[in-house]
Amino acid sequence: MNILILGGGGREHALAWAVQQNPKCDRLIVAPGNAGIAAIAECASLDIEDGGAVAEFCNENAVDFVIIGPEAPLAAGVADRLEEAGILVFGPSAAAARLEASKRFTKEICAEAGAPTAAWARFSEAGPARAHVAAHFRGETRPIVIKADGLAAGKGVIVAETEAAALAAIDDMFGGAFGGAGAEVVIEEFMDGEEASFFVLSDGKTLLPIGTAQDHKRAFEGDTGPNTGGMGAYSPAPVLTEAVAKRAMEEIIAPTMRVMAERGTPYRGVLYAGLMIKDGQPRLVEYNVRFGDPECQVLMMRLGAQALDLMLATAEGRLDEKRVNWADDHAITVVMAAKGYPGAYEKGSQIRGLEALPEDSGHMVFHAGTRLVDGKITAAGGRVLNVTARGESLREARDEAYAMIEAIDWPEGFCRRDIGWRALK
Ligand code: AMP
Ligand code: GLY
């Protein structure tokens, strides 16, 4: 098969790494790719949010199967365009991708499905939203959560500890800080508990869980500092026990998928359920309609080549024939980011020492934001490398990953030294 992966981050490098190990894969193209991806696949330049352009590229290059990595092309309807053009695709339709693209939509679906989630209200004007917040802080000292309705590159959620912070978030959102994504605002009850992510494939009829993970969203050690796209992740997530996973499937994910199918917009792809777990009870924080980044890196490290068969079965509506072959293993990924991230950072510094590192079924440095400049690997983003290792225990995987980091010579970068602490304590 000729396979095209859309995207150019660590998630797509991990997807490419897994797919290319499968003998079904003849030719692998990634658009736009990056310096690490270029070592294992062809990179193509293509407007990946333009469904027509992607379909044309597929026809010109005899692409048999497209895997869509990020949310933006999904929300833009690229999967719909490909399906219309008769091209097999992994990733939900734009209508189904609303589970990520609109917080309000997800809340309405949860209400219809009876899925446990935080109490919420929605606002299209600042005045009533401010009044709602003021009323909350009159009787409560707990934080409140302010969310821009639409896609905001992971930055549209503010957990406000004080009334002043909540009001500022509302003013920012209605003031256009997130563009059109903030035209509506959802205000939610703060849920406490431990957060974990559950990944489930759906072909519109059958559901198949493919793994659990936990990430570290804060920039600095001890889970402090500003929110980021994720500074590291590990799989499996100990808090997502079999009993909790069963409840999440029965109470949240299966009912959601049923409602989506009943509405005539069945969900096909990977569903990433962000869960808050307390006393064995999972509640939904959010859905994403794609693999997490960097969670995908640890899932791919554990699934390996079977990931392609699972994604193909999802796209072809044959998930009922599939099972996941599990090893009793653990994987971890540590993000190396440019100093300054998630704020302002420099691009263009050179990264040395990568050639000497092992690359095998237990060790990989996935590239998240790199570019080849005159044959040298240089930093080209905020999150730059995902140093990933697998082991019989999380501790073993963690030690392997940090040993790899020791060998990387990149003074302009930083990483957290405590990835996995919650599961290791
Ligand atoms: P989201 O983009 O919806 O995942 O939100 C980003 C992060 O904000 C989540 O991963 C949680 O850590 C936090 N968060 C979002 N909603 C809530 C909530 N209702 N209660 C507590 N934390 C939340
Ligand atoms: N790591 C969080 C996400 O992919 O949304």
Supply the pLDDT for residue 5.
98
What CATH number has the domain spanning 2-92? 3.40.50.20
Supply the pLDDT for residue 180.
75
The residue whose C-alpha atom lies closest to atom 3 belonging to ligand 2 is: 292
**From 3.30.470.20, 3.40.640.10, 3.20.20.70, 3.40.50.410, which CATH number describes the 194-321 domain?**
3.30.470.20
Average pLDDT on 26-50 reads 97
Kindly state the helix (H) or strand (E) to which residue 406 belongs, with its residue range. Answer: helix 394-406
Query: Rounded to the nearest whole angstrom, what is the distance from the C-alpha of residue 229 to the centroid of ligand 2?
Result: 6
Supply the pLDDT for residue 227.
85
Question: Per-residue confidence at 136, pLDDT binned at 50, 70, 90?
Answer: confident
Q: Write the pLDDT tens digit of every residue in 337-396.
A: 999 999 999 999 999 999 999 888 899 999 999 999 999 999 999 999 999 999 999 999
Query: Rounded to the nearest whole angstrom, what is the distance from the C-alpha of residue 294 to the centroid of ligand 2?
Result: 7
Q: Write the pLDDT tens digit of every residue in 60-96.
A: 999 999 999 999 999 999 999 999 999 999 999 999 9
pLDDT value at 205 more than 90: yes
Place of tokens 């000497």: 356
User: Of all atoms in ligand 1, which is nearest to the CA of residue 285?
Assistant: 16
Pocket test for ligand 1, best of 157, 195, 214 (most atoms within 8 A of CB): 157
Q: Write the pLDDT tens digit of every residue in 1-17.
A: 999 999 999 999 999 99
Question: What string of DSSP letters covers 375-398?
Answer: TEEEE-SSEEEEEEEEESSHHHHH
- Does this model's pTM top 0.85? yes
Q: What is the mean pLDDT of the chain?
A: 95
CB–CB of 346/340 below 8 Å?
yes
19 burial via Cβ count (<10 Å: 0-12, 13-18, 19+): buried
Q: Write the pLDDT tens digit of every residue in 245-294.
A: 999 999 999 999 999 999 999 999 999 999 999 999 999 999 999 999 99
Pocket test for ligand 2, best of 293, 334, 335, 386 (most atoms within 8 A of CB): 293
Integer-rounded Cα Rg, in Å, for the chain is: 21
Q: How many CB atoms lie within 10 A of CB 127?
A: 10
Is 371 strand, coil or helix? strand
What CATH number has the domain spanning 119-189? 3.30.1490.20
Q: Write the pLDDT tens digit of every residue in 298-333.
A: 999 999 999 999 999 999 999 999 999 988 999 999
Supply the pLDDT for residue 176.
78
Whether 118 is in the pocket of ligand 1, judged by its Cβ within 6 Å, is yes
Q: What is the DSSP letter of 82?
A: H
Domain boundaries, the chain: 2-92, 119-189, 194-321, 330-424
CB–CB of 13/36 below 8 Å?
yes
Q: What is the DSSP letter of 248?
A: I
Please tell me the distance from the alpha carbon of residue 340 to that of residue 343, in angstroms, as a whole number: 5
CATH says 330-424 is which class? alpha beta
Supply the pLDDT for residue 155.
75
- How far, in Å, are 129, 162, 279, 339 from residue 134 at the CA level? 9, 10, 30, 38
Percent of all residues in the chain with a pLDDT value above 70, rounded to a whole number: 100
Q: Residue 121: which of 113, 132, 136, 106 has the closest Cα?
A: 132
Question: Per-residue confidence at 334, pLDDT binned at 50, 70, 90?
Answer: very high
CB–CB of 404/375 below 8 Å?
no
Please tell me the distance from the alpha carbon of residue 311 to that of residue 65, in angstroms, as a whole number: 10
Angle at the Cα of 414 from the Cα atoms of 411 and 416, rounded to 5 degrees: 150
User: Of all atoms in ligand 2, which is nearest to the CA of residue 294?
Assistant: 1
pLDDT value at 127 more than 90: no
Pocket test for ligand 1, best of 104, 105, 145 (most atoms within 8 A of CB): 145
